[in-house]
């Protein structure tokens, strides 16, 4: 249910928000939908010189995100206060979602800009067949052969540049819930994910984290660990939790540690993009009100086994059309973005 940026689900999936290309959008436990591709997937690379990078920050800050573009628009309209508030999002490293359209070119352009800035780009690969159970972020490659070609192209585009890749939000967890990815389809998906890990890890400076749901997406840790093993976790650098969801760091650390123990000590990353006020509840994954930005992206987590806090879901991008007049999954929604930033300032 990701909608390229997030997931839905009763208690669970990722939750919406990417680029219109399939950024994750659901939640996973509750209604577990998953990820929708971000509307940003077809963005052009940053202009000459790129944006100012944060001192001491490992990850790349792009001036071509939805938030950065909106800051420029607000300033041109004389709305300085709103622009300054939104800069709390635009000035932080975010993730580039890769979906159906132009993924290879975007991966090459963004990773090159990041390398020129001396930073590491963060990507979300989101094109698995039968993506998001046909919900807000429905789409993905038409078949297994097309997916293999797609992920190979992405891997080749990254070359020897530094990049972190969060692999296919909700894809593993959806084989264990109500979604119709069972039997032969599940076996095919596990094989494609293992292939993706293998292809990406051929590049010397690429780190790969398989998505592993969130604390509210009811999964048996041993069952999920078994599914992750079938999906190539042994060759990956670890797994990702809380993608496009809202659970606080401590709960994600506890969830990640339990899963890590079942996987022989694998490390993990946490999506903290909207975790500042925690979750509103298992069923509130689609643009819930009153949420706040969480911990900024960093590799200095102070938590053993937690490799980084990342903004995997780009704050301000919708989880989907949740019945209250919201934009479709992955589209930027200024009032919601300002709310996230303002709540984090309190």
| CA–CA separation, 138 and 34 (whole Å) | 9
| CA–CA separation, 49 and 290 (whole Å) | 36
Order of strands across the sheet that contains 19-27: 4-8, 19-27, 35-38
| CA–CA separation, 263 and 255 (whole Å) | 13
Whether 283 sits among the annotated catalytic residues: the reply is no
The catalytic position among 11, 271, 307, 319 is: 319
| CA–CA separation, 285 and 282 (whole Å) | 7
Whether 63 sits among the annotated catalytic residues: the reply is no
CB crowding 298-308: b at 16 or more within 10 Å, else e: beebebeebbb
- Residue 314, sorted as left (phi over 0), alpha (psi -120 to 50) or beta, turns out to be beta
Q: How many CB atoms lie within 10 A of CB 61?
A: 22
The catalytic position among 170, 237, 271, 307 is: 170
Helices (H) and strands (E) in the chain, counts: 8, 10
The catalytic position among 132, 177, 211, 271 is: 132
| Contacts (Cβ under 8 Å, ≥6 apart) of 75 | 83
Whether 132 sits among the annotated catalytic residues: the reply is yes
Active site residues: 132, 170, 319
């Amino acid at each position: 249910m990701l909608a390229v940026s997030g997931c839905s689900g009763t208690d669970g999936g990722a939750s919406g928000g990417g680029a219109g290309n399939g950024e994750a959008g659901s939640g996973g436990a509750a209604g577990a939908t998953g990820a929708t591709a971000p509307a940003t997937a077809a963005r052009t690379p940053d202009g000459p010189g790129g944006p100012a990078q944060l001192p001491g920050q490992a990850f790349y800050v792009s001036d071509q995100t939805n938030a950065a573009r909106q800051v420029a628009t607000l300033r041109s309209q004389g709305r300085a206060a709103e622009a300054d508030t939104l800069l709390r999002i635009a000035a932080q490293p975010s993730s580039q979602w890769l979906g159906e359209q132009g993924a290879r070119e975007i991966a090459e352009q963004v990773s090159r800009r990041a390398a020129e800035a001396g930073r590491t780009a963060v990507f979300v690969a989101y094109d698995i067949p039968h993506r998001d159970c046909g919900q807000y972020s429905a789409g993905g490659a038409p078949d297994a052969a097309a997916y293999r070609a797609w992920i190979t192209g992405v891997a080749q585009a990254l070359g020897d540049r530094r990049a972190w890749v969060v692999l296919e939000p909700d894809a593993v967890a959806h084989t264990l819930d109500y979604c119709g990815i069972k039997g032969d389809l599940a076996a095919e998906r596990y094989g494609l994910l293992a292939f993706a890990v293998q292809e990406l890890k051929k590049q010397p400076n690429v780190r790969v984290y398989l998505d592993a749901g969130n604390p509210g997406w009811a999964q048996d840790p041993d069952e999920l660990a078994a599914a992750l093993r079938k999906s190539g976790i042994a060759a990956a650098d670890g797994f990702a939790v809380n993608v496009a969801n809202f659970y606080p760091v401590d709960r994600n650390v506890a969830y990640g540690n339990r899963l890590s123990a079942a996987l022989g000590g694998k490390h993990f990353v946490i999506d903290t993009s909207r975790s500042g006020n925690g979750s509103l509840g298992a069923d509130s994954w689609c643009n819930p009100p009153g949420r706040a930005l969480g911990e900024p992206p960093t590799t200095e987590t102070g938590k053993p086994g937690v490799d980084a806090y990342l903004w995997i879901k780009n704050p301000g991008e919708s989880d989907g059309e949740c019945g209250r007049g919201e934009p479709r999954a992955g589209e930027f929604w200024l009032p919601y973005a300002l709310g996230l930033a303002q709540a984090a300032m309190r």
